[in-house]
Structure 1
């Protein structure tokens, strides 16, 4: 009896395209592109992502014949083909994803290189700027990282924005090198408007020679989506030198690290701690920076235990004397001092935010 041939993968995958009023021309172009790969006519695929595309670059090989184009306010798609290959270009703002399918792996690689060669536009960073990464989950592309140039002053320039005990602690943190790392968690806590985010921008500049700083824009999703967490923790960032440290910033994570965290938040907290000193973090040069408005006493004991934190700094308001020195006058400064946000408001001539009076006025004031 002759040996039966194994079923081909595409035989088990009927290709059917259903459209309704929720679909757009962009979705149609995406679906059409997958056809030749799914059927096996072009079984090889190569892709590349570009954060900033040079103006005027089409991302199409010279011999490309355009089959479809679609555009809306934020995104565009181009589907084109050549002899034995198909290219799909997805563009958003200044960035783009380029994917090529072809009859051979070598052809797919060659066409992709032709489409993307010299396409990236990377302006020379200015001395006062630092490159920061931003992670988020895109509905179309899944976990995605983009980069931006962020203005950040030197520590000497911004040191006066912090009260003396905080400035002293920050002095030590700004000088940290890889050899000094003993804990993987960096915790900044304190009231809103005290400059926690500003301090992290300056830290990114101080550490830029050895550490890439990435901000996670959706931290509440990160630790509840294992695939997203693995992409960030395990996946190598393109262009990042091997052995270079990464600092992941999670801002305003009050619920995540609060002592009375609910069950779902507790699971997320366990994954956070596993990233800092558990199996997930083993062999990875990853630090995690967390900011919160919670008091230290309300934080989960596992977060603040000795040995886990590289630094644990309470960022509070400046004293009245420090505030007057910063502002150049005592006018408008309360007896308890002022936060950095309040000082900037006073400098602009506007009324800073205030805490409502805890003692209600007498009845006569209502009449």
Structure 2
């Protein structure tokens, strides 16, 4: 090896930091970039970070003795760069939450400073029986795979049972009462026409299972199963402070293309990875359930998805029959002979109708066609 090829023992020399900026970068972007300097050069080689979903009012998230170096604010976030003896800290705030990241000369110092900045800074909302904590996963261009948590409102099963036709209500009765000891399959499949209450049932399920199961909704499932790194982050998961052994239910809504019969040809490896997460090597040792909603008919689904033993529940959620719909609404007005979906019943109750163009008489000249 030539002398000029010998790698430097100093990380800052073998990995030079070079920043390129233009007028599309905001001051907050500059603060983010400046924060990386001491970590990239190796002066502060240890980094620790934490995400806070709800920061208490008045908390600066700066430890005692920290000196602010830069501060920037734009429409949707702010960034503060600060330093202290042996550490540098970046606080990025967004929509009531914040990311706190620390670099330091030692691992212990990084942990200590992060604790001083973030411990006790997150605001817990007052508990309400109808509120359920739910996580939301998405892939952020800025931060990669990211999870945020929100409190959602969910009615009890007793309150919403009448929203479902009798056979569906019976199947959901059993699902709502499932305990961890009774779990056989790892896939929960709700299918049926739009507007029948599949998502509402899942919200109520999150409330019924909240003592033993954390429910996370994946906002971009089409990316999840085509990005191995994203999938691994979710498969490894976050305990969300609930302790080890707690189950997680990952919700994937409207995944028609993923589970239909021709999915192996149209979705590549996505279907295989979904099945691997439910009962393959990827799911081994992980207390993970996968809930899927789809508008597909059962006959159009891939046989591997619905094979015996894979599904904890496979429920077709359909419209209420005419007698059930009339009983729900309290009147026959607007209810067709084939019954009605839950969405149609709520629209009838509110007295709303979708905007539409009145039907024209045969042969009548069309208006507004030349605008």
TM-score band by shorter chain is: over 0.9
Deviation, 1:201, is 0.3
Deviation, 1:7, is 2.2
Unaligned runs of 5+ in 1: none
Deviations 1:240-289 (A, max 9, x none): 31001000000000111111226351410110000000000000000000
RMSD value, Cα = 2.0
Deviations 1:135-187 (A, max 9, x none): 11112111111111111111111000000110011011001111111100000
**Hey, what does 1:63 align to over in structure 2?**
65
**Hey, what does 2:312 align to over in structure 1?**
310
Specify the SS of the correspondent of 2:269. Answer: helix
Pick aligned residue for 2:289 from 268, 287, 290:
287
Q: Is the 8 A contact 1:155 1:206 kept in 2?
A: yes
Deviation, 1:236, is 3.3
Map of 1:10-25 to 2, 5 A cutoff?
10-25=12-27
Closer/same/farther in 2, CA of residues 88 and 171 from structure 1, 3 Å limit: same
**Hey, what does 1:346 align to over in structure 2?**
348
TM-score (normalizing by structure 2):
0.93
**Hey, what does 1:103 align to over in structure 2?**
105
**Hey, what does 2:144 align to over in structure 1?**
142
Q: Is the 8 A contact 2:235 2:282 kept in 1?
A: yes
Deviation, 1:106, is 2.1
Question: How many matched pairs?
Answer: 360
Q: Find the aligned partners of 1:31 and 1:250 in 2 and give their Cα distance.
A: 35
TM-score (normalizing by structure 1):
0.94
Q: Is the 8 A contact 1:128 1:151 kept in 2?
A: yes
Q: Find the aligned partners of 1:260 and 1:99 in 2 and give their Cα distance.
A: 45
Q: Is the 8 A contact 1:255 1:265 kept in 2?
A: yes
Map of 1:198-277 to 2, 5 A cutoff?
198-261=200-263, 263=265, 265-277=267-279
**Hey, what does 1:189 align to over in structure 2?**
191
**Hey, what does 2:45 align to over in structure 1?**
43
Specify the SS of the correspondent of 1:134. Answer: strand
Q: Is the 8 A contact 2:198 2:317 kept in 1?
A: yes
Q: Find the aligned partners of 1:363 and 1:120 in 2 and give their Cα distance.
A: 65
Q: Is the 8 A contact 1:189 1:295 kept in 2?
A: yes
Q: Is the 8 A contact 1:343 1:352 kept in 2?
A: no
Q: Is the 8 A contact 2:189 2:291 kept in 1?
A: yes
Deviation, 1:310, is 0.5
Q: Find the aligned partners of 1:230 and 1:174 in 2 and give their Cα distance.
A: 29
Q: Is the 8 A contact 2:8 2:14 kept in 1?
A: no
Q: Find the aligned partners of 2:268 and 2:94 in 1 and give their Cα distance.
A: 36
Q: Is the 8 A contact 2:16 2:40 kept in 1?
A: no
Specify the SS of the correspondent of 1:200. Answer: helix
Q: Is the 8 A contact 2:7 2:14 kept in 1?
A: no
Deviation, 1:200, is 0.2
Map of 1:71-110 to 2, 5 A cutoff?
71-110=73-112
**Hey, what does 2:3 align to over in structure 1?**
none
**Hey, what does 2:10 align to over in structure 1?**
8
Q: Find the aligned partners of 1:302 and 1:12 in 2 and give their Cα distance.
A: 50
Q: Is the 8 A contact 1:47 1:112 kept in 2?
A: yes
Q: Is the 8 A contact 1:342 1:352 kept in 2?
A: no
**Hey, what does 1:334 align to over in structure 2?**
336
Q: Is the 8 A contact 1:125 1:149 kept in 2?
A: no
Deviation, 1:76, is 1.0
Farther-moved stretch of structure 1 (338-347 vs 94-103): 94-103
